[in-house]
């Protein structure tokens, strides 16, 4: 008999996500992903100085503010006509700020958000050794405060006691590493979160030998952690849970806007980027060119006033909480009407398909270790492996880029403010493709739309009835126990969803959307 499983909220992610799955005969037959939190910022920008976008849009999220600040800056570069004249220092500083945030975010995702789906923290409860970290965690558990570690999914923990304990120690060390990565962002960003130095035209931070040395030293420690703990831990989990190479595939079509500029071509679709732009469809592993004009958002099943499928320049953000049939505050982005997954897996597939020998080597090594074909990448473990590979790749690259800074040379290109123009920022946040589109008239913002990674991944079904990527990943999944649906949360968390980012709208007048009685 069919039964509906409701997971609300999904914990250990950012923001408020509800998952509903209809399970029949032990298999998911229907799946719905709902963003349940209403917030955000697009409308706040209307009428303001466009430069405010690089500050205000960072407030969409405290996890990936660098991405929103930078993506706004890319859109503003075009608005102010400086998109072809970002200095080398400006370009490299932007890459360093963004790259250090990628490293922080990926470590956060694996250890703090996803690992406890696979690692049993209670293996520390009877620890009698001398490791001070494990003793602290043991005392914490003894107080009955499992808060950060719940929910736990009894019945499918597969690591040995020693492996579990080691992974818990690494979980704690990962907190230190994240602080270090935040500090690396702050070296050139000024502070973290919500850094101040990313602006239209470049970056305000001036590189100095001291700052270069400080950044490099932090990255040395981070790459050491990635090599010694992060990559081995991901491989260990993959070894014990290798069936998850066959679970959670989803739409098998991938989008990358590209990230880490290697030149300042004014056209973002022609700019050389360390991780390239493009679309990969399924296992043919061909990189197809992107035409941003084909991007649309629709709101058929979202609590917004109906617009049809519109390009972000024409997008609107008008809430309609009573809309019949709608089930999410997240919109449904589409490319040429098609559903695309975004994120580290999409990026590593773009690099692989684009002929990046280093990425091909790292991905092939992982596949060879598990005697797996590239199809296995389209999975829960494929997403975790891609994120870890990317973390290593980016952290190593940052150590090279920081040495290319030229102290004393300009970081910023000035521009006139009284413009009427449009601007598009195409970029990658840690969780995937991020686009900002701005329309400016007479030096003031007329419209602003952000299409965010988790909007692509966790969006609802569209007008053609095509479910979003995360919904497609859940469909067909075998659930062993409807009371304990760990398979479903493992799938959801492999996307690293952030609903704070995905739902980033607010009513301009701040009126009540609904009232709740708590009794």
Q: Which residues bind Mg ion (CB under 5 A)?
A: 450
Question: What is the rounded CA–CA span in Å between residue 108 and residue 184?
Answer: 15
CB of 143 to Mg ion, least distance (A): 42
Q: What would the x/- binding string for ligand NFE be over residues 454 to 493, using CB under 6 A?
A: x---------------------------------------
* Interacting partner of 431 out of ligand NFE, Mg ion, none (Cβ under 5 to 8 A depending on kind): ligand NFE
CB of 398 to ligand NFE, least distance (A): 17
DSSP β-ladder status, 202-203 and 198-199: antiparallel
Question: What is the rounded CA–CA span in Å between residue 363 and residue 374?
Answer: 9
What b/e readout covers 105-141, taking b as 16+ CB neighbours within 10 angstroms? bbbbbbbebbbbbbbbbebbeebeeebeebeebbebb
Question: What is the rounded CA–CA span in Å between residue 124 and residue 157?
Answer: 14
CB of 231 to ligand NFE, least distance (A): 21
Question: Can you read off the two tokens belonging to residue 348?
Answer: 């590593």
Question: What is the rounded CA–CA span in Å between residue 91 and residue 264?
Answer: 8
The residue among 333 and 354 lying less far from Mg ion, judged by its C-beta, is: 333
Q: What would the x/- binding string for ligand NFE be over residues 490 to 509, using CB under 6 A?
A: --------x-xxx-------
The residue among 42 and 120 lying less far from ligand NFE, judged by its C-beta, is: 42
Contact assessment for residue 151 and residue 11, using Cβ atoms and an 8 Å cutoff = yes
Alpha helices in 249-379 (DSSP H): 344-353, 357-369
Question: What is the rounded CA–CA span in Å between residue 391 and residue 212?
Answer: 20
Phi, psi of 506 (to 5 degrees): -150, 150
CB of 387 to ligand NFE, least distance (A): 11
Applying CB under 6 A, the site for ligand NFE has a residue count of: 17
Task: Give, in order, the Cα–Cα distances in Å from 256 to each of 114, 344, 443.
Answer: 23, 9, 31
- Applying CB under 6 A, which part among 268-276, 301-309, 328-336, 449-457 lies near ligand NFE? 449-457
User: Mapping DSSP to helix (H, G, I), strand (E, B) and coil, where does residue 439 land?
Assistant: strand
**How many other β-carbons are positioned within 10 Å of the β-carbon of residue 282?**
14
The residue among 447 and 500 lying less far from ligand NFE, judged by its C-beta, is: 500
- The separation between CA 175 and the C-alpha centre of its own chain, rounded to angstroms, equals 19
The residue among 124 and 501 lying less far from ligand NFE, judged by its C-beta, is: 501
CB of 464 to ligand NFE, least distance (A): 23
Among 5, 12, 13, 14, binds ligand NFE (CB under 6 A): 14
CB of 460 to Mg ion, least distance (A): 14
The residue at minimum Cβ distance from Mg ion is 450
CB of 188 to ligand NFE, least distance (A): 19
Radius of gyration of the chain, Cα coordinates, nearest whole angstrom: 22
Please, which contacts does 58-61 make with residues 24 or more away whose CB atoms are closer than 8 Å?
58/193, 58/194, 58/195, 59/194, 60/450, 60/452, 60/500, 60/501, 60/504, 61/14, 61/498, 61/500, 61/501, 61/504
CB of 419 to ligand NFE, least distance (A): 26
The residue among 388 and 450 lying less far from Mg ion, judged by its C-beta, is: 450
The residue among 63 and 93 lying less far from ligand NFE, judged by its C-beta, is: 63
CB of 407 to Mg ion, least distance (A): 39
- One DSSP character per residue, 320-342 reads -TT-TT--BSS-EEEETTB--B-
The residue among 97 and 450 lying less far from Mg ion, judged by its C-beta, is: 450
The residue among 109 and 138 lying less far from ligand NFE, judged by its C-beta, is: 109
Q: Which of 1, 6, 29, 39 is nearest to 498 (CA)?
A: 39
Question: What is the rounded CA–CA span in Å between residue 178 and residue 344?
Answer: 18
* Interacting partner of 259 out of ligand NFE, Mg ion, none (Cβ under 5 to 8 A depending on kind): none
Element (H, E) at 398: helix 380-401
The residue among 219 and 450 lying less far from Mg ion, judged by its C-beta, is: 450
CB of 382 to Mg ion, least distance (A): 27
Q: What would the x/- binding string for ligand NFE be over residues 66 to 85, using CB under 6 A?
A: -xx-----------------
Q: Which of 390, 399, 467, 389 is nearest to 430 (CA)?
A: 390
The residue among 313 and 415 lying less far from Mg ion, judged by its C-beta, is: 313
Which residues, including other chains, have CB under 8 Å from residue 502's CB and lie 6 or more apart?
Answer: 15, 35, 329, 330, 452, 453, 454, 455, 458, 459
CA atoms within 13 A on the CB side of 272: 3
Site for ligand NFE contains 353 (CB under 6 A): no
The residue among 73 and 137 lying less far from ligand NFE, judged by its C-beta, is: 73
The residue among 405 and 489 lying less far from ligand NFE, judged by its C-beta, is: 489
Q: What would the x/- binding string for ligand NFE be over residues 395 to 434, using CB under 6 A?
A: ----------------------------------xxx--x
Residues 32-61 that bind ligand NFE (CB under 6 A): 61
* Interacting partner of 453 out of Mg ion, ligand NFE, none (Cβ under 5 to 8 A depending on kind): ligand NFE
CB of 15 to ligand NFE, least distance (A): 7
Find where tokens 């499992």 sit.
146
CB of 355 to ligand NFE, least distance (A): 26
State the residues that interact with ligand NFE by CB under 6 A. 14, 61, 63-64, 67-68, 429-431, 434, 452-454, 498, 500-502
């Amino acid at each position: 008999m069919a039964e509906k499983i409701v997971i609300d909220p999904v914990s250990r992610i950012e923001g408020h996500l509800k998952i509903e799955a209809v399970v029949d005969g032990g298999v998911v037959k229907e799946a719905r992903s709902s963003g349940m939190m209403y917030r955000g910022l697009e409308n706040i920008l209307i009428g303001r100085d466009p430069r405010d976008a690089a500050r205000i849009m960072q407030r969409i999220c405290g996890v990936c503010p660098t991405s929103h600040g930078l993506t706004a800056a890319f859109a503003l570069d075009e608005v102010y006509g400086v998109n072809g004249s970002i200095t080398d220092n400006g370009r490299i500083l932007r890459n360093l700020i963004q790259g250090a945030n990628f490293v922080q975010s990926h470590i956060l995702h694996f250890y703090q958000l996803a690992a406890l789906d696979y690692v049993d923290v209670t293996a520390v409860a009877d620890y009698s050794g001398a490791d001070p970290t494990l003793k602290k965690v043991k005392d914490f558990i003894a107080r009955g405060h499992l808060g950060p570690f719940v929910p736990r999914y009894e019945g499918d923990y597969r690591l040995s006691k020693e492996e579990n304990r080691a992974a818990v120690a690494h979980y704690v060390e990962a907190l230190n590493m994240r602080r270090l990565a935040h500090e690396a962002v702050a070296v050139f960003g000024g502070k973290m979160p919500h850094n101040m130095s990313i602006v239209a035209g470049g970056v305000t931070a001036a590189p100095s030998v001291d700052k270069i040395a400080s950044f490099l030293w932090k990255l040395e420690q981070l790459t050491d952690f990635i090599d010694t703990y992060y990559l081995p831990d991901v491989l260990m989990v993959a070894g014990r849970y290798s069936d998850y190479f066959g679970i959670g595939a989803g739409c098998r079509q991938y989008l990358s806007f590209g990230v880490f500029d290697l030149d300042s071509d004014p056209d973002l679709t022609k700019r050389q980027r360390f991780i390239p732009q493009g679309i990969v469809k399924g296992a043919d592993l061909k990189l197809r060119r992107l035409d941003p004009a084909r991007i649309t958002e629709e709101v058929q099943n979202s609590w917004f006033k109906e617009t049809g499928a519109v390009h972000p320049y024409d997008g609107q953000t008008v809430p309609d909480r009573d809309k019949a049939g709608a089930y999410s505050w997240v919109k449904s982005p589409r490319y040429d009407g098609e559903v695309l997954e975004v994120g580290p897996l999409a990026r590593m597939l773009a690099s692989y398909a684009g002929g990046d020998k280093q990425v091909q080597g790292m991905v092939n090594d992982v596949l060879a270790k598990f005697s797996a074909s590239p199809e296995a990448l389209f999975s829960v473990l494929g997403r975790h492996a891609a994120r870890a590979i990317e973390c290593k790749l980016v952290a190593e690259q940052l150590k090279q880029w920081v040495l290319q800074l030229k102290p004393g040379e300009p970081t910023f290109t000035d521009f006139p403010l009284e413009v009427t123009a449009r601007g598009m920022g195409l970029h990658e946040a840690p969780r995937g493709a991020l686009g900002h589109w701005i329309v400016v008239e007479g030096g003031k913002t007329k419209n602003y739309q952000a299409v965010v990674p988790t909007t692509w991944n966790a969006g609802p079904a569209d007008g053609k009835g095509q479910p979003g990527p995360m919904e497609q990943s859940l469909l067909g999944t075998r659930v062993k126990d409807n009371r304990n649906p760990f398979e479903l949360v493992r799938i959801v968390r492999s996307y690293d969803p952030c609903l704070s980012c995905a739902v980033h709208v607010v009513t301009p007048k701040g009126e009540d959307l609904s009232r709740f009685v708590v009794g």
